[in-house]
Structure 1
Amino acid sequence: MAKSPSSAAKLLSSVRPSLGWGIVIVTPLVIFAIFLIIVGANPIELYKTMIHSVFGDFYGFGELLIKATPFILTALATALPAKAGLINVGGEGQLAIGALFSTWAGVFYLHDLPGIIGIPLMMVAGAIGGGLWAAIAAFLKVKGNMNETITTLLLNYVALFTVGLFVHGALKDPASFNWPFSPELASQLRLPTLSGSRLHIGIIIAIVIAAIVWFIVAKTRLGFGIRVVGGNALAAMRAGYNVGRTQFWTLVASGAIAGIAGMIVITGIEGRLRPETGATYGYLGFLAAWMAWNHPLWLVGTAMIIGAISITGSSLEMTSGLPSSSVNILMALVLFAILAKGRRSKS
């Protein structure tokens, strides 16, 4: 008769996952600390400053949530099409066009409406903008069999030039002293904030959308179809699934989510459209999605990690003299560690 595993073996098996994740967290910090020592910085003092800048008070934590909000949504714009076997690198451009559409609607059509009506309509406008921009790549994928990774990436540059065209032209604020940005949104069209802080309700919107995406993908027939197509498109086609339609609308939906991120950046942070609105949010969201293996709920955590690392750049510059962009090294190390952990878990 087979012997039951000892209590020590059971304890060891329960500890191993936590130990593995502990190594994933500690290893990038150790390597980055070695880098800091090489360049003459004190890693212990620097880490203390970085932690305090994020968690030292409510303001710092609020800034983390503000920063992470668009990361969550652009990560979802990567994770959702990934379930259908697509790689969407276009969150940057879809966010920018969503910001353009929502700003246009807010400045020219919704400025006199109360916020309870105007804000949801701006969100719809942002979703339409991002969805239409993603539809270009989706159409080229389904009808032209073009690689969506390349088309979504190239469309990012077109989107940024498009935003620049409008903020230098039709959307340019006449009172801007020739600076390229749109008129400021009416105060009632800004997202509500907590008293005494910049923290707005965008983080709640982002988490709710993440929960909805997870529920659809994991618990509904529609989500099952998306996962079947992503698992094996040829088998899904032979089973009667319309692969092209599924991929088209999944990519459009992901663009709509990124477009909502653009609306939140405008109504929650910027207050007006600028040429650089939302710059790097799409690429960092892509990174957050891949760090979470495209899981719609886990990416909330990875987006928080990226947000925390991002906002500590200023602390790094002030305390060590290193450029704030040096935190990108730490971000890359975290990514490599998580991907290595994922590959080892699957092997």
Structure 2
Amino acid sequence: MSEFPHVLPTYNRAPLSFARGEGAWAIIGDGTRYLDLGAGIAVNVLGHAHPDLVATLTEQASRIWHVSNLYRIPEQERLADLLVAHSFADTVFFTNSGTEAAELAIKMARKYFHQTGQPERVEILTFEGAFHGRSTGAIAAAGSEKMVKGFGPLMPGFRQLPWGDLAALKAALSDQSCAVMLEPIQGEGGIRPLDDADLKEIRQLCDETGTLLILDEVQCGMGRTGRLFAHEYAGITPDIMMVAKGIGGGFPLGAVLATQDAAAGMIAGTHGSTYGGNPLACAVGARVMEIVAEPAFLSEVNRKGGLLRQKLEGLVAAHPDIFEAVRGQGLMLGLKCRIAPGEMVKAGYDQQILTVAAADDTLRLLPPLNITDDEIAEAVDRLDRAAASLNG
């Protein structure tokens, strides 16, 4: 009998191990370089080993790592100031991950109605195809069989609606409704953007019914779409928003942003985190914010996103048996495939390019936001060769 793996076998890992990284490149021990269009699943917004982040982390590590939230943390306060200055929010709570951010968002919304004398308002409406994390609360919110099977009983108080079905949403909103929770662009669900007009209508429906709007920008936020946050394109603001992934540039960090009103119930003792908002994470996060929130940087993300999309449209036309369409925004793009996307991921390994599969037969392309034009051209050439190998 074989010994059970010392690392719990919950992942189907690729047979690759990277020793170091440089910008958009991940490098294995023998020096072979892979062009990284996954960026650690939209995490490494400034690529691997960005010199500013290395310097910031090293400098902070030489001073102090952890004190807990029993004390003031200047680095945390600085990052909160930056997030508030560049968003709708009045206040921020720091977590270690997107999943933790989802848990607080759920608690905050329900606490709001308890605080305002409407404790019966606990139901949170979500959309099919959503992904909000792997905790028991987050899987109950998403509700897909793949995530919930075998983990019951599930946390009650969630109702899943068909993706983008505003008629169903309007019918579901009631005096029991607490919040609508959604991703402006579904990531794990297959790079499925919600139309700006639909997002505006959802905001209006929430306003009309006194329901909170929670946006999950864990994957689509932090400049990935060419705006700091994806909802900005629709000209609306949420009441509560989850961010993570790119906010730490590779260092584990997440946050919940909220208006003063939505956060009013979260008084001392209602939530906490031992590691959340530690000096190391927040020092790095502040440097990421300083770089990514710059209008010139975001303008470049938009331009590069347009360049990549144009080249991908050509790729789809060249391989109609493999690809169906391109969708997404900025540098959060998906190739809708006519084959299982995992086949393209594996074919990409032979061409030394890294991509990420998603639901709805979609191949995710989530490169570092500072990828160069030459690297974009090289990436599409490698995808072309990978697709050709499957055609052959």
Shorter-chain-normalised TM-score: which range?
under 0.3
Give TM-score, length-normalised by structure 1.
0.27
Which has the greater radius of gyration?
1
Report the TM-score when normalising by structure 2.
0.25
Structure with more of its chain in helix, by fraction: 1
Q: Kindly indicate which of the two structures has a greater share of residues assigned to strand.
A: 2
Q: Which has the higher contact order (CA 8 A, sep 6+)?
A: 1
